[in-house]
């Protein structure tokens, strides 16, 4: 088994995208590789980093000129070296991780790691792994990327390779493989894009960036052009989405307004042109999709190279002012779309939609070169413990203690993490079964309508995608962590008062369920799919924002025979009434962000298999709840552990000793 460590940082969007896509490609082409993606800024600097990052994002949003200045400052290797003095914590953490995990290959998608590794291995040739830097900048490459050495530098295209060479990087070390975009770009779209000629619609994708809310006029002008169909992506700004939907409603089917989406690959593959700012990820994705790009906003510094790539190589065009966009679009499609066809031809030449796979092959080949005679410590997967006598591959018939959480929100509703991030978060902590339960609001209720507008719930038109994405992650979670991932929904039936409000979890659903059904009908549909119907937070609780939902409890005599289990604990709240009535119970996080992990969980003693798990809940035998805590001692002892604890520690090693916090709530 080969081990690859990918180091990234969540500053800007390109670094994480490159890291994730490379990981997916490695796992796709080989069963013989373990891949770990780590953001040491995240793990080492914790909440401080969150602050630094939001400061960065705010700066980019509101003061692009200022950020340009900062970026230039960073483009001075002295500055990076000096900063390294303050990076001792990061250096120690990386040293510890490299020592314990002994990877065959280390890949970095963020320039600072090369400097740290150079510090750690004064004799660079002696380091026991290959170090590959994946440069996510294009053309204007910040010198921090190459002022510390790497065994191999991978760049997105030839022009960038030339820039690196001119800066003194030996040509033999540079590989121009393309930017590792999502594997979805290698899939042919179901309906191929037709030439924008004659009556064929001109399909335009308009991605509205932050700080660019005055797009209304441009949109109207675009729609005044013949045969134009417009898809607008406006991100999480619900107010903007509502405004645009109203403003464009007269155009009917010619306009689609989307909020936040993770379907960019599909959208880029099915549109003739994308209008967007020159962000690192989207520029590379547009190139991979061979979708000509019109850049209408450039953040000075890191985005300038992306804009030059588009402009200089005629892969689209860069406009000074947003209002120039409609004219340019008109020109692009005039004269049998001459200009558009030229852009497209140039794109075909430079586009590498399968770059992630090529890069993965290079990484695997480098793994072969490393010396495998060294003794390696297996730390990428949670260690087996007494509580989990057999791994996922063992006979399914053996019951064991399973750590479960059946109430988790993601960025599909109001959670902070995406579905893949939730899977990695829980997988690393060694959970056995989780269920993702994003909010679905009832459109018949006013509060449901409001919730929808504020993007706090999954929208009806994203439900199909929601099921698809979780199904894909279910496979990955099982392969990588031996963790079962179920698809669920939290049905929000909110009334004007707490007594008329109810939240109901549908657990292990196979297909979407209409959000406008009443509670008994919803439960019937959940049961028809073999799922569990669970009453969430059924009694009075202290909540950060939500109001109490008492309807099910007020009517528990009517609902008792319909509901499979009641949350006896939700996050920090305990509902002792559920225990007193001897109703079947569960304990859940109601997870919205990482700190919510320190909350009530369910332990089930049964086979690690979806049907057995559901049956265990229904019978409610061998069910306990446990208050999840990390071993603070362990963390306090060594700051280094903070970086590795999530990747290497089975939480049950921690839970069992703290039995004092465990409620012996066996129901029989
Ligand atoms: Zn709820
Ligand atoms: Zn919830």
Least confident among 157-166, 204-213, 576-585: 204-213
**Ligand with minimal distance to 492 CA:** 1
Calculate how far, in angstroms, residue 589's C-alpha sits from the geometric centre of ligand 2. Answer: 8
Cα(568) to ligand 2 centroid in Å equals: 14
Smallest CA-to-CA distance from 288 within 466, 138, 131 is with 138
Tokens of 241: 């989405």
What is the CA(510)–ligand 1 centre distance, in A?
21
Residues with CB under 5 A from ligand 1 (ion): 503, 536
Beta bridge partners of 585: 566
Closest CA to 146 of 106, 118, 179, 180: 118
CA of 537 to the centre of ligand 1 (A): 7
Distance 407 CA to ligand 2 centre (A): 6
Distance (angstroms) between ligand 2 centre and the Cα of 570 equals 9
Q: For 248, how many CA atoms within 13 A lie in the half-sphere containing its CB?
A: 27
Per-residue model confidence (pLDDT) at position 273: 97
* Cα(490) to centroid(ligand 2), Å: 6
Q: Where are the domains of the chain?
A: 2-181+355-367, 189-350, 400-663
Q: What is the distance between the alpha carbons of residues 515 and 142, in angstroms, rounded to a whole number?
A: 50
How many CB atoms neighbour CB 230 within 10 A? 22
600-606/585-588 β-pairing: unpaired
Nearest to 137 by CA among 6, 345, 278, 289: 278
**Where does the pLDDT of residue 449 fall: very low under 50, low under 70, confident under 90, or very high at 90 and above?**
low
Q: CA 668, CA 663: separation in Å to the nearest integer?
A: 14
In this predicted structure, the answer to whether residue 1 has a pLDDT above a threshold of 70 is: yes
User: How many angstroms separate the alpha carbon of residue 451 from the centre of ligand 1?
Assistant: 13
Residues 6+ apart with CB under 8 A from 302: 12, 71, 137, 140, 142, 280
Neighbours of 622 (CB within 10 A): 16
Q: How many whole angstroms from 613 Cα to the centroid of ligand 2?
A: 21
Cβ–Cβ < 8 Å for 493, 523: no
Give whole-number Cα distances, 198 to 102, 193, 331, 344, in Å: 60, 14, 15, 18
Asked if residues 494 and 441 have their Cβ atoms less than 8 Å apart, the reply is yes
Query: Dihedral of CA 85/89/92/93: which sign?
Result: negative
Beta strands in 84-201 (DSSP E): 105-108, 130-134, 152-155, 174-176
Cα(414) to centroid of ligand 1, in Å? 11
**What are 274's two structure tokens?**
């994308």
Looking at residue 36, what is its pLDDT?
A: 85
Ligand with an atom nearest the CA of residue 536: 1
pLDDT of amino acid 631: 53
Q: Which letter does DSSP use for residue 260 in this model?
A: S
634-642 contacts: CB < 8 A, separation 24 or more? 639/44, 639/89, 639/92, 639/93, 640/92, 640/93, 640/96, 642/43, 642/44, 642/46, 642/93
According to the model, what pLDDT value does residue 546 have? Answer: 65
DSSP state of 208: P
Question: Cα(658) to centroid of ligand 1, in Å?
Answer: 28
Q: How far apart are the first and last CA of the chain?
A: 45
- Cα distance between residue 148 and residue 40, in whole Å: 18
How many other β-carbons are positioned within 10 Å of the β-carbon of residue 349? 10
Cα–ligand 2 centroid distance for 536 (angstroms): 7
Domains 2-181+355-367 and 189-350 share a fold: yes
* Six token digits for residue 597: 């992990």
Cα(546) to centroid(ligand 2), Å: 9
The C-alpha atoms of residue 256 and residue 228 are separated, in whole angstroms, by: 12
Ligand nearest to the CA of 541: 1
Residue 448: other Cβ atoms inside 10 A: 21
For residues 322-337, average pLDDT: 93
Cα–Cα dist 513/523, whole Å: 10
- pLDDT given at position 50: 53
Q: Quick one: pLDDT at residue 339?
A: 96
CATH number for the domain running over 2-181+355-367: 3.40.50.2000
Q: Pick the range with the lowest mean pLDDT from 55-59, 202-206, 279-283, 366-370.
A: 55-59
How large is the C-alpha radius of gyration of the chain?
26
How far is the centre of ligand 2, averaged over its atoms, from the C-alpha of 571 (Å)?
10
Q: With pLDDT > 90 as the criterion, what percentage of the chain qualifies?
A: 50
Tens digits of residue pLDDT in 237-255 = 788 888 888 889 899 899 9
Q: Has residue 180 got a pLDDT over 50?
A: yes
Please give the pLDDT value at position 475: 87
Determine the Cα–Cα distance for residues 403 and 49; give it in Å rounded to an integer: 30
> Tens of pLDDT along 46-105?
544 554 555 555 444 444 444 444 444 444 444 444 444 446 777 777 888 888 778 999
> How many CB atoms lie under 10 A from the CB of residue 69?
12
Q: pLDDT tens digit string along 565-574?
A: 999 999 999 9
pLDDT band for 319, please (50, 70, 90 cuts).
very high
- Which numbered ligand comes closest to the C-alpha of 535? 1
pTM score, whole prediction:
0.61
Ligand that comes closest to the CA of residue 405: 2
When mean pLDDT is compared across 279-283, 517-521, 567-571, the lowest value belongs to 279-283
**436 Cα–ligand 2 center, Å:** 10
Name the least confident of 83-97, 477-491, 597-611.
83-97
Can you give the pLDDT at residue 454? Answer: 62
Q: State phi, psi for 7 to the nearest 5 degrees.
A: -105, 130
Per DSSP bridges, beta strands 293-297 and 573-574 are: unpaired
Residue 499 or 505, more confident: 505
Check whether 368 has a pLDDT greater than 80: yes
Task: Give distance in angstroms: CA of 104 to centre of ligand 2.
Answer: 41
* Winning range, highest mean pLDDT, from 101-110, 118-127, 286-295: 286-295
Tens of pLDDT, residues 156-167: 999 999 999 999
**Residue 515 CA to ligand 2 centre (angstroms):** 16
> What are 159's two structure tokens?
């022009």
Q: How many angstroms separate the alpha carbon of residue 406 from the centre of ligand 2?
A: 10
**pLDDT over 70 (residue 37):** yes
Task: Please give the distance, rounded to the nearest whole angstrom, from the Cα atom of residue 520 to the centre of ligand 2.
Answer: 20
CATH of 400-663, one of 3.20.20.140, 3.40.50.1820, 3.40.640.10, 1.50.40.10: 3.20.20.140
The rounded Å distance from CA 442 to ligand 2 centre is 15
Ligand 1 centroid to 619 CA: how many Å? 24
Phi then psi for 254, rounded to 5 degrees? Answer: -75, -15
Does 175 score more than 50 pLDDT? yes
* Ramachandran class of 430: left when φ > 0, alpha when ψ lies in -120 to 50, beta otherwise: left
Per-residue model confidence (pLDDT) at position 497? 83
Distance 438 CA to ligand 1 centre (A): 9
What's the average model confidence in pLDDT over 592-615?
A: 94
Task: Return the percentage of the chain with pLDDT > 70, whole number.
Answer: 80
Q: What is the 3-state secondary structure (H, E, C) of 362-404?
A: HHHHHHHHCCCCCCCCCCCCCCCCCCCCCCCCCCCCCCEEEEE
Question: Can you tell me whether residue 47 is helix, strand or coil?
Answer: helix
Mean pLDDT of the chain: 82
**What number does CATH give the domain 189-350?**
3.40.50.2000
Please determine, for residue 168, whether its predicted confidence score (pLDDT) is greater than 70: yes
**pLDDT for residue 520:** 94
Rounded distance from Cα 59 to ligand 1 centre (Å): 34
Please tell me the distance from the alpha carbon of residue 550 to that of residue 468, in angstroms, as a whole number.
33
The tokens of 416 are what? 């902070």
612-651 tens-digit pLDDT: 999 999 999 999 999 998 754 433 333 333 333 333 333 3
Q: How confident is the model at residue 133 (pLDDT cuts 50, 70, 90)?
A: very high
Ligand 2: centre distance to CA 55 (Å):
29
| Among the bound ligands, the one closest to the CA of 571 | 2
What's the token pair of residue 279?
């962000």
Ligand 2 center–CA 384 separation, angstroms: 31
Question: Beta-strand (E) ranges in 477-545?
Answer: 484-493, 502-507, 532-535
404-424 confidence digits (pLDDT tens): 999 999 999 989 999 999 999
Ligand 2 centre distance from Cα of residue 505 (Å): 8
Ligand 2 center to residue 409 CA distance, Å? 6
The CA distance from 260 to 244, in Å, is 14
Q: What are the strands, taking DSSP E only, across 389-536? A: 400-408, 433-441, 484-493, 502-507, 532-535
Q: Which of 43-47, 335-339, 485-489 has the lowest mean pLDDT?
A: 43-47
Q: Which among 219-228, 294-303, 562-571 has the top mean pLDDT?
A: 562-571
**Nearest residue to 18 via CA among 143, 111, 89:** 111
């Amino acid at each position: 088994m080969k081990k690859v460590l990918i180091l990234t940082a969540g500053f800007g969007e390109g670094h994480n995208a490159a890291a994730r896509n490379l990981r997916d490609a490695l796992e796709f082409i080989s069963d013989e590789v373990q891949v770990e993606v780590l953001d040491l800024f995240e793990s080492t600097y914790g909440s401080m980093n969150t602050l630094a990052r939001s400061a960065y994002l705010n700066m980019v949003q509101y003061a692009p000129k200022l950020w340009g200045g900062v970026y230039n400052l960073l483009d001075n290797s002295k500055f990076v070296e000096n900063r390294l003095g303050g990076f001792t914590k990061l250096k120690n953490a990386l040293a510890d991780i490299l020592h314990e995990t002994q990877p065959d290959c280390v890949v970095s998608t963020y320039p600072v790691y090369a400097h740290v590794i150079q510090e750690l291995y004064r004799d660079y040739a002696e380091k026991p792994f290959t170090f590959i830097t994946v440069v996510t900048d294009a053309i204007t490459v910040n010198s921090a990327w190459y002022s510390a050495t790497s065994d191999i530098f991978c760049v997105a295209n030839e022009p960038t390779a030339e820039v690196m060479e001119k800066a003194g990087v030996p040509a033999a070390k540079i590989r121009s493989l393309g930017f590792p975009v999502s594997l979805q770009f290698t899939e042919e779209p179901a309906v191929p894009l037709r030439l924008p000629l004659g009556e064929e619609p001109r399909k335009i994708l308009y991605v509205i960036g932050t700080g660019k809310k005055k797009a209304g006029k441009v949109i109207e002008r675009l729609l005044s052009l013949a045969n134009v169909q417009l898809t607008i992506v406006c991100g999480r700004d619900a107010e903007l989405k509502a405004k645009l939907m109203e403003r464009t409603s007269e155009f009917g089917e010619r306009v689609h307004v989307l909020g936040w989406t993770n379907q960019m690959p599909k959208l880029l593959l099915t549109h003739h042109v994308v209008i967007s700012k020159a962000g690192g990820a989207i520029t590379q994705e547009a190139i991979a999709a061979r979708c000509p790009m019109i850049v209408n906003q450039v953040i000075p510094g890191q985005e300038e190279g992306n804009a030059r790539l588009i402009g200089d190589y005629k892969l689209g065009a860069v406009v000074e002012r947003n209002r120039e966009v409609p004219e340019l679009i008109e020109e692009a499609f005039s004269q049998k779309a001459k200009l558009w066809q030229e852009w497209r031809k140039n794109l075909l030449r430079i586009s590498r939609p399968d770059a992630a796979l090529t890069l993965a092959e290079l990484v695997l080949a480098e793994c072969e070169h490393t010396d495998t005679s060294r003794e390696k410590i297996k730390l990428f997967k949670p260690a087996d413990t007494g509580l989990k006598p057999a791994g996922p591959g063992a006979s399914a018939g053996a019951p064991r203690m399973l750590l479960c959480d059946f109430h988790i929100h993601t960025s599909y509703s109001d959670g902070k993490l995406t579905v893949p991030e939730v899977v990695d978060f829980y997988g690393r902590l060694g959970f056995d079964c989780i269920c993702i339960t994003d909010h679905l609001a009832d459109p018949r209720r006013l509060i449901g309508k409001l919730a929808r507008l504020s993007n706090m719930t999954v929208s009806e038109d994203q439900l199909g995608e929601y099921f698809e994405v979780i199904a894909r992650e279910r496979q990955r979670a099982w392969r990588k962590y031996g963790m079962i991932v179920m698809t669920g929904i939290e049905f929000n039936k909110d009334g004007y008062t707490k007594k008329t409000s109810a939240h109901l979890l549908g657990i292990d659903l196979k297909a979407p369920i209409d959000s406008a059904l009443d509670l008994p009908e919803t439960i019937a549909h959940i049961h028809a799919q073999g799922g569990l119907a669970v009453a969430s937070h059924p009694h009075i609780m202290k909540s950060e924002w939500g109001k109490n939902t008492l309807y099910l409890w007020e009517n528990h005599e009517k609902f008792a025979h319909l509901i499979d289990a009641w949350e006896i604990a939700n996050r920090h709240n305990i509902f002792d009434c559920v225990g007193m009535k001897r109703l079947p119970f569960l304990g859940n996080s109601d997870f919205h962000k990482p700190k919510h992990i320190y909350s009530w969980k369910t332990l089930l003693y049964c086979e690690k298999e979806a049907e057995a798990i559901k049956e265990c809940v229904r019978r409610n035998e061998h069910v306990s709840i446990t208050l999840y805590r990390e071993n603070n001692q362990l963390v306090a002892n060594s700051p280094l552990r903070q970086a590795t604890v999530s990747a290497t520690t089975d939480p049950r090693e921690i839970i069992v000793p703290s039995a004092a916090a465990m409620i012996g709530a066996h129901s029989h």
